[in-house]
Amino acid sequence: MENYIYGKNAVVETLLNSPERINKVIIQKGIGLDNRLKKIVNLCKDCSVVYNFGDLKGFLNENGEKVNLQGVVAYVSPVPYKDFQEFLDENKSGEYRKIIVLDGISDPHNFGAIIRTAAAGGYDAIIIGQRRCCPINATVEKISSGAVNKVPIIKVNSLNSAIQKLKENDWWIIALDVHTEDNYLNIDYKNMNFALVFGSEGDGITKTILNLSDYKVKLPTQFESLNVSCCCAVIVYETLRQINYT
């Protein structure tokens, strides 16, 4: 089956930010057009994207499960990955940059939520590994509400090598580790390039990457653990609070 995305927000954001990815949009025939669906029709016209009305009953997610399509599906080309070296070489006029590194995130809902948080927080990129990571699929695009079109995503062959390269280019590596004693609030996130590293839902960050990290932090909780996408949102907004308001 061709690549496709579904959901009103995901389709709107793709039309706004990456219309060249969309080959065709299908809207459920017989459905009443609310404001979002009307916006999709208008954006298709503005972007010269083909759209029509059809039956969406046969669409399933990547696991063969029925999903809430919200009345719209778009056939798309895959999300293009950004080149790691190109990202390192970019000149941001001396501004400090901030990124997220994902070590083995396998749940598409977590991946999509993290992408959405990164976009909302104005993060400069997300780095994922070639292995042990969820691909960018229809569920990821839906959960991210189209944010995959706003945040550059970099796929590297080796996360270990990429982190070492970041360190060589004056980046500070901050890893979330439930076994450490250091509170995430005690880090000064200002005046430096930094990468927040989050590990897999079950095993956390690999030992090698933990050893490469400059800081290891945790969120103090009264429960065993928090969902990784929730942890990401909490830390991201603490970084923004410090950078923008202190």
Q: Which helix (DSSP H) or strand (DSSP E) does residue 14 occupy? A: helix 8-17
- Final residue of a structural domain among 76, 104, 138: 76
- 184-231: pLDDT as tens digits: 999 999 999 999 999 987 788 999 999 999 999 999 877 766 789 999
Q: Are residues 102 and 68 in the same domain?
A: no
Q: Residue 111 to residues 85, 133, 143, 215, 216: CA-CA distances in angstroms?
A: 23, 9, 8, 23, 21
For the CA atoms of 89, 95, 98, 99, what is the dihedral angle to 10 degrees? -20
Query: Tell me, what's the pLDDT at 93?
Result: 63
The rounded distance, in Å, linking the Cα atoms of 144 and 10 is 7
Q: Decide: 19 and 49 in contact? Cβ < 8 Å.
A: yes
- How much is the pLDDT for 230? 93
**pLDDT exceeds 80 at position 36:** yes
The larger pLDDT score, comparing residue 111 to residue 179, is at: 111
pLDDT at 236 over 50: yes
Same domain, 130 and 147: yes
Whether residues 58 and 118 share a domain: the answer is no
Q: In this model, does residue 103 exceed pLDDT 90?
A: yes
Same domain for 45 and 163?
A: no
pLDDT for position 226? 77
Calculate Rg over the CA atoms of the chain: 19
Do 155 and 177 lie in one domain? The reply is yes
Q: Compute CA distances 211 → 155, 205, 245, whole Å.
A: 21, 10, 32
Same-domain check for residues 131 and 233: yes
Q: How many domains are contained in the chain?
A: 2
- Rounded to whole angstroms, how far apart are CA atoms 39 and 51? 12
243: exposed, middle or buried (Cβ count in 10 Å: 0-12, 13-18, 19+): middle
pTM: 0.92
Report whether pLDDT(12) > 60.
yes
CA distances from 232 to 25, 79, 218 (A): 33, 22, 11
Q: What is the pLDDT of residue 65?
A: 77
Cα gap 5→69, rounded to integer Å: 9
**Residue that is last in its domain, among 76, 92, 114:** 76
Taking only the tens place, the pLDDT of each residue in 122-148 is 999 999 998 888 899 999 999 999 999
Last residue of a domain, one of 34, 59, 76: 76
| pLDDT at residue 66, rounded to an integer | 82
pLDDT score for 222: 74
Which CATH number characterizes residue 215's domain? 3.40.1280.10
> How far is CA 111 from its chain centroid?
6
Which domain range does residue 129 map to?
84-245
Domain shared by 42 and 118, yes or no = no
Same domain, 126 and 199: yes
Same domain, 95 and 64: no
* pLDDT on residue 1: 46
Within this chain, do residues 122 and 173 fall inside the same structural domain, yes or no? yes
pLDDT tens digits, one per residue of 45-67: 999 999 999 999 877 777 777 88
